[in-house]
Structure 1
Amino acid sequence: MTAFSILKPKKVLFIATRQIGDVLVTTPLISKARELWPDAEFHFLGYRGKLDMLKGNPDIAQTIETSDRPRLGEYLSLFFRLFQRYDLAVVTQPSDRAYIYGLVAAHQRVGVLGGHPQGFSQQDKAKSSKSDKQNAWKKAICLHTVDVDYFAQHVITEKLRLLGAFYRNPQDLFSKPISVTAPAGDPITPSIAAQLLSPYIVVHPGPLTAYKRWPLSYWQTLLTWIVQQGYQVVLSASPAKQDLQLNHDILSLLDEETRKNAIDTTGLLTIPQAGTLIRGAVAYVGVDTSITHLAAACNTPTIALFGPTPPTNFGPWPNGFIGDQPYQLRAHTQTVGNVTILQGPGECVPCRKAGCEDRASSKSECLDQLEPIQVIEALQSATNK
């Protein structure tokens, strides 16, 4: 058990060198740290183009961007800028690079330790043992660490436990409502705003990887039903080529009447603009991706389609939840607060693999078997239709 620390830092650096969703889930940690240290100055280090989730966050005085693959000159410039300028570094990702940044930047550190999910095979045990050895130096440079649990521990709980060393009773971290802070909204692009008709439902079909995709024909069925209920459909997506193609393919399947009542905003909105769009929606439907976490943070009724990913680890956090675990590991449908998580059938669900073939381009049978009627029923409940 970590000893209680009386450290009262004046400057704190939060480090999240990953994707935009990983930045968003640090915001409850930042809010809780502000309660602990009301007069401290907070800075945030992350990858260039990934920090829009912090726009307007009242607790962050400065953001520092770095490339995901910096050259030597950028490394040296960053190290000079960071060197021992902070009292505490909060390392929210288990990568070696994030820990090196924390070591350079601060006098003290707390950090998340990665590892291989525990299993019973000799291969799993060997990988777990290797992770322990790789983590030894990280433990040595930290006053407190938190182990990842890919099935039982929610990622927001994991981040909050980084502050456990500063509480005499660490469970006090979870005794009050916990919320994710969405970025401040920006006005929607006028050409899109002019097409919006209330009420509308935002639909985000595109995940980062193929194994989190829901079948095209299912989207066709869902969007047709939404329009038949009198709603406008607003399709959302990132500017990534595969997302542009996915939304194009979905729209190509729609009949003329449904297509007339669908707006495609693919790649046309920034994260803050997407937040504004989602706040105005009657509901949101999306796959396991960062924008689904944003929708939940905007307090919009959120329907999340989950396949291999355990909701107990990375389900969108229901704002205002009190406790350290909102979700069950496996449930056909579960609603907590404004979030409904849907899972397909199968004893293997959730497996936490990259689809059935454990590779990014794989399909996931659990999503193929998550029928449109399950999503429609969840939307009916969310919209009282």
Structure 2
Amino acid sequence: MSNFSTLKPKKVLFIATRQIGDVLVTTPLISKARELWPDAEFHFLGYKGKLDMLKGNPEIAQVIETSDRPGFGEYLALFNKLFQRYDLALVTQPSDRAYLYGLVAAFHRVGILGGHPQGMANDKSKQQNAWKKFISMYTVDVDYFSQHVITEKLRLLEVFFRNPSELFSKPITVTPPIGEPLTPIIAGELTQPYVVIHPGPLTAYKRWPLAHWQHLITYLAKRGYQVVLSASPAKQDLQLNHDILSLLDEEVRKQVINTAGKLSIPQAGSLLRGAVLYIGVDTSITHLAAACNTPTITLFGATPPSNFGPWPNGFIGKQPYQLRARSQTVGNITILQGPGECVPCRKAGCLDRADSNSECLDLLEPAQVIEAIETVLVNN
């Protein structure tokens, strides 16, 4: 443990240059930093189109957007904008670029250090991390299997606590974006209790088979629920929802509303807040559902829930989840994992590439999900 720091920054920059889910999981860090520094001004740097999860966040005074692949001119303008404006930068991603932004922007830095995906440090990662350690007053190592990503972010503040265990002694909550009204057309279609289903992950190896979704939606419709299919505007997600709908009987199809590509992130939050249940795969909208306190069932394959399971709001402690359990429920979050001694492998599916399938998800039966649904609906 580094020496306790008495730094009292007046301006703080949070840096999260990745996906929208990575932005959302920084919100407990922002809240805890506000407890430490009630009078500081907080800014947030991230990628264009990925910062909607912060909409209406009361702690953030300014959001700074950058391209994920900026050209020289944009780099120059950004560096001029950031240069030595901040007392402290919290680098929440281990990328070189995030650290460079932190170096340019602030007099002091704390940051996350990446490592080998299988949890073993190697010489190459040590070399890549050496300069980051050198420019930082404190660093936290990623642990892809046994450390939750929200714990990882919160630990960036350890150096500012005489007793770092205080960080985890109170309820920890993820702050969702403020809601926005649904369009009148979608709002008008919601005529009975509904379940939101988000089947599309960013990568194919996190997908659940189409026939399993068909089985599940048919069950929910016959149970008397409307089913709202959600998806990002990405072409593969729109196609996935289309393929699922094409498998449904006509009577079941009448119970399904397809909102694919039609909702902003704040509108998705409003939809989720009104749902009796959310079911989805390992993706950012699943984290949003959990943040909105919606009863959530999520299907995990290769990803360790102990690293990236949706956080149960109000949980006290560092680790809500076990690494492996066919079913585990904490608060109103249920995580289901498929069978296999290899689960979770943290590879990109069985072939270790983005377009691979994952046998553990293929073998996760709809019956297991239905059992979890019945438990949730009885308890709510």
Bucket of the pairwise TM-score, normalised by the shorter protein: over 0.9
Structure 2 equivalent of residue 373 of structure 1: 367
* Counterparts of 2:353 and 2:123, CA distance in 1: 23
Cα deviation, residue 118, structure 1: 4.3
* Counterparts of 1:83 and 1:104, CA distance in 2: 5
Cα deviation, residue 198, structure 1: 2.4
CA contact (8 A) 2:282 2:298 kept: yes
Answer yes or no: is 1:304 the counterpart of 2:298: yes
Cα deviation, residue 384, structure 1: 1.1
* Counterparts of 2:377 and 2:54, CA distance in 1: 29
List runs of 5+ in structure 1 lacking aligned partners. none
Answer yes or no: is 1:240 the counterpart of 2:234: yes
Cα deviation, residue 113, structure 1: 0.2
* Counterparts of 1:16 and 1:383, CA distance in 2: 36
* Counterparts of 1:331 and 1:297, CA distance in 2: 23
* Counterparts of 1:232 and 1:117, CA distance in 2: 40
Question: Which of the residues 119, 128, 133 maps onto 1:134?
Answer: 128
Answer yes or no: is 1:37 the counterpart of 2:40: no
* Counterparts of 1:198 and 1:176, CA distance in 2: 37
* Counterparts of 1:133 and 1:96, CA distance in 2: 12
* Counterparts of 1:249 and 1:189, CA distance in 2: 24
The residue type paired with residue 108 of structure 2 is Q
Map Cα deviations across residues 118-161 of structure 1 (whole Å, 9 max, x no partner).
Answer: 46xxxx66xx2210110000000000000000000000000000
Structure 1 equivalent of residue 28 of structure 2: 28
* Counterparts of 1:154 and 1:320, CA distance in 2: 15
* Counterparts of 2:116 and 2:98, CA distance in 1: 18
* Counterparts of 1:72 and 1:252, CA distance in 2: 46
Answer yes or no: is 1:382 the counterpart of 2:376: yes
The residue type paired with residue 305 of structure 1 is L
Answer yes or no: is 1:253 the counterpart of 2:253: no
Answer yes or no: is 1:270 the counterpart of 2:232: no
- Among all aligned residue pairs of Structure 1 and Structure 2, give the percentage whose two residues are the same amino acid: 78
Q: Secondary structure at the match of 1:65?
A: strand
* Structure 1 ranges of 4+ moved more than 3 A: none
Aligned residue-pair number: 379
Map Cα deviations across residues 79-110 of structure 1 (whole Å, 9 max, x no partner).
Answer: 00000000000000000000000000000000
* Counterparts of 1:170 and 1:336, CA distance in 2: 24
Cα deviation, residue 181, structure 1: 0.2
The residue type paired with residue 255 of structure 1 is D
CA contact (8 A) 2:158 2:164 kept: yes
Map Cα deviations across residues 20-51 of structure 1 (whole Å, 9 max, x no partner).
Answer: 00000000000000000000000000000100
Structure 2 equivalent of residue 5 of structure 1: 5
Structure 1 equivalent of residue 91 of structure 2: 91
CA contact (8 A) 2:216 2:370 kept: yes
Q: Secondary structure at the match of 2:257?
A: strand
Question: Which of the residues 175, 181, 190 maps onto 1:181?
Answer: 175
Q: Secondary structure at the match of 1:194?
A: helix
Question: Which of the residues 328, 344, 355 maps onto 2:338?
Answer: 344
Map Cα deviations across residues 306-350 of structure 1 (whole Å, 9 max, x no partner).
Answer: 000000000000000000000000001000001000000000000
Superposition pairs for residues 147-296 of structure 1, below 5 Å? 147-296=141-290
Answer yes or no: is 1:19 the counterpart of 2:19: yes
The residue type paired with residue 90 of structure 1 is L
Structure 2 equivalent of residue 73 of structure 1: 73
* Counterparts of 2:123 and 2:319, CA distance in 1: 27
Cα deviation, residue 117, structure 1: 3.1
The residue type paired with residue 211 of structure 2 is S
* Counterparts of 2:262 and 2:200, CA distance in 1: 14
Structure 1 equivalent of residue 319 of structure 2: 325
* Counterparts of 2:251 and 2:328, CA distance in 1: 33
Give the TM-score normalised by the residue count of structure 2. Answer: 0.99
Q: Secondary structure at the match of 2:320?
A: coil
* Counterparts of 1:228 and 1:314, CA distance in 2: 33
* Counterparts of 1:328 and 1:51, CA distance in 2: 30
Q: Secondary structure at the match of 1:219?
A: helix
Q: Secondary structure at the match of 2:303?
A: coil
* Counterparts of 2:177 and 2:373, CA distance in 1: 25
CA contact (8 A) 2:304 2:344 kept: yes
Cα deviation, residue 171, structure 1: 1.1
* Counterparts of 1:32 and 1:189, CA distance in 2: 35
Cα deviation, residue 194, structure 1: 1.1
The residue type paired with residue 377 of structure 2 is T
CA contact (8 A) 2:279 2:296 kept: yes
CA contact (8 A) 2:117 2:346 kept: no
